[in-house]
Structure 1
Amino acid sequence: MRLKTLLAAVTAATLGTGVLAQDPITAGFIYVGPIGDGGWTFEHNEGRLAVEEHFGDKVKTVFQESVPEGADAERAITQMALSGADIIFTTSFGYMDATLAVAEKFPDVKFEHATGFKVAPNVSTYSARFYEGRAVQGHIAGKMTKTNKIGYIASYPIPEVIRGINASYLHAKKANPDVEFSVVWVFTWFDPAKEADAARALIENGVDVVLQHTDSTAPQAAAQEAGGVITFGQASDMIEYAPLPRVSSIIDNWAPYYIDRVQAVMDGTWESVQTWDGIPTGMVKIGEITDAVPADVKAEAEAMIEAIRAGEYHPFTGPINKQDGSVWLAEGEVAGDGDLLGMNFYVEGLTGDIPN
């Protein structure tokens, strides 16, 4: 009887170990905006949903939306780690230091920080080369403006946003030497009222093309209300405003990356990396260019997309000068990633100062 009891105990323990081994991985997501913002957070959440669909009951996902950058972020990330998350994606630049601080306290949890540059043994960074898409938008904008006035609603003066302004301006200017850019800084990622006010102010000043690096569809609505103004979807397709005012979009495609990184945790192969991908890998997509865009302009934009995809064209190829007229890139010279990642200056032709 004692032998049978011992065998039963060993069998139960073995079965118990098997059950534990099959426990689902928990992947957590910290969002700066609401999942219904129609832009940045919406697309990150689409990536989370793709993880659930891909892995089924092997992975459980959790998320917290509208988490302010700063101390609130550290508390939210800490709580998610305490609740048993195996990997946590923190999806805004302002979460960088909070992510590092929490990661130090939870060395067995994997952390992935979007758009940042600081890493640790259990912290990776990932971002997309949005400037590739903004070059395409700039070309279309320069060709389609009738007033030669283009507006840009900017969020925060970080390198990612400055790169976008510069890429858009350079390609608008190539397409139309008479183009003028007006940049409005709103110091928010998601505030529909502020974004709408910024769009209306630009339109009142004669702008007939509005670009944005903010997350809501409010600028699209303001342009639609004004009439005769074109816009571009930011982070997600914003297709509900097509064919006008939204004539195309930049789409952030996070799903393949999220699936790959969760799989690495499951396989035990996860390691700290820095990822910066774009159009060639599909991390950046260009939404449908509508028939509101003239056929020749559409063809030129599509040719640029294909050249970027093939590695034949880089949006920051010289000659390019800095705003003060000093040479940044010589004829044919391509900007290095280090310069782009730390970009803190406007290119020649842009007016105004970058806020501190």
Structure 2
Amino acid sequence: METVRIGIVGLGNMGTGHAQYLIRNEVRGAILTAVCDPRPERLNWAEAELGINVARFSSLEEMCQSGTVDGILICTPHYDHPEQAITALQHNLHVLIEKPAGVYTAQVRRMNEAAAASGKVFGIMYNQRTNPMYAKLKDLISSGELGEIRRTNWIITNWYRAQSYYDSGGWRATWAGEGGGVLINQDPHQLDLWQWTTGLMPTRVRAFCSFGKHRNIEVENDVTAYVEYENGATGLFVTSTYEAPGTNRFEISGDRGKIVIEDDQMTFWRLRVPESEFNRTYKGGFGQPECWKCDIPIAGGGAQHLGITQDWVNAILHDTPLLAPGEEGIKGLMLSNAMLLSTWTDNWVDLPINEELFYSKLQEQIERSDSTKKADDYKTLNVSGTH
């Protein structure tokens, strides 16, 4: 194979954006050959804007059987990602899904199993992994510069959404429509980066989620979660959609100092000697290790969505390792599921979570959801819930 023929499923905001850079031939070794959307008006748009050489389908099954694509990029509602990915994998197609991987880990686990059995290249659109800031953070931690991690704190409250945003679509901020709120809609990238950069997944979570706080919605829009790690480290994740001005500050404390990312800057407060060594050898009573404040240089760029698509194409053509393997989508989702489950049960939740219990609790929320019609409305939109 010299060229990967790509089909896009879902021509909402994200699908349209992916189609535009593909049709401009900005991904080496790839060509957009098909699109799929149940809405006639979006297929008409595709004909006008993408050209007659791009095949148009109203169903995924039809696209998969057409012989026009080698891989598909899924840009549909959250609940649909796993089942559509499984369908494509079973048709021997490579798959790249938009985030989140799904709404609940049980369905994502089935998707991961199907991907492993298929032997095809399976990726997820974790485009923030291409951000040089987080790539540098991951490098500093994995290389040992920070030493053993002691604490992680991420305050991400700059997701401000007014009531008019939620009122713009009846499916928005409903359990039946989106499957959750800030954790599933705004935070998937941060939940992924939290564990990806540190290399740590918590062993247990205690979270407090508020539902419809200062907003007329049914899902979570304010979360404070405390986590514990196997090495004894602890962490805090705080997020909301109603605070103005909001904060985005990621702080990681380790044996050799701390790193803070805020306002697009990375600062490393580096200890001259590790804290553990200082504690063992210092005999002066009051005192602390000498500390140097270092502004970490960050390379420009970051290819974002296009970069993840290029990475996926390279893996198909050249068998290179993926920056964002699709199987890793379950990790961030496990964190958000655990936070909700902790709140619903008013208790600690061990990881991996009890997937059957989470699913049953989610169904309870869906049954009480404002309207199941809103879920149907959302599905007909066929857009990715990424904004």
Superposition TM-score tier, normalisation by shorter sequence? 0.3 to 0.5
The higher radius of gyration belongs to 1
TM-score w.r.t. the length of structure 1 is: 0.40
Considering fraction of residues, name the structure with more helix.
Answer: 1
The higher relative CO (CA closer than 8 Å, separation ≥ 6) is in: 2
TM-score w.r.t. the length of structure 2 is: 0.37
